Structure 1
Amino acid sequence: MAQNREKFATQIDRVVLADIRMLAKDEGRQLQAIVEEALTALLGGRRQGKARPHAMSA
């Protein structure tokens, strides 16, 4: 099944980006796959009403 993909641009902390690039390289995956997985997990957690760790420590 083909997935519809859309290009977008954003800015991110350079250390975070370096870490994501390293993770992608270590896992032999594309950067876009890592970013999509992370965003999907974030959205899934928010939809389930899970509290964010930084909110719990406030």
Structure 2
Amino acid sequence: MAETREKFSSQASPELLAALRAAARQEGRHFQAVLEDAMRGYLEEKARQAVRPEVMEHFRASVERHRLLGELLAR
């Protein structure tokens, strides 16, 4: 079964679009497929870089627990 697609409109620099079109041609792929891969890669990288909420909570608790030590070290 075909994947559902949603149309959207956007703008990009001519150089960026030309490079993306060239990449699609070189790979023998549709522009749309290369664009989707680029968007997916961007989102995956952002998710990989994000700090998990439970890690941030432990960090904040540690900072609060050791506030005095931090102040002493800052002097």
The two structures have a TM-score, normalised by structure 1, of: 0.79
Bigger RCO of structures 1 and 2 (CA < 8 A, at least 6 apart): 1
Structure 1, residues 11-54: CA drift from partner, whole Å, max 9, x if none? Answer: 0000000011111111110000000000000000101116xxxx
Q: Which residue number in structure 2 is paired with residue 21 of structure 1?
A: 21
Q: Which residue number in structure 2 is paired with residue 44 of structure 1?
A: 44
From the two aligned structures, give the one with the greater helix fraction: 2
Percent identity for Structure 1 against Structure 2: 38
Which segments of 5 or more consecutive residues in structure 2 lack a partner in the other structure? 51-75
**Counterpart code for 2:2:** A
CA RMSD of aligned residues (A): 1.2
Which segments of 5 or more consecutive residues in structure 1 lack a partner in the other structure? 51-58
Q: Which residue number in structure 2 is paired with residue 53 of structure 1?
A: none
The two structures have a TM-score, normalised by structure 2, of: 0.62
Distance, in Å, in 2 between the alignment partners of 1:27 and 1:13 is 21
Larger Rg: 2
Distance, in Å, in 2 between the alignment partners of 1:37 and 1:10 is 17
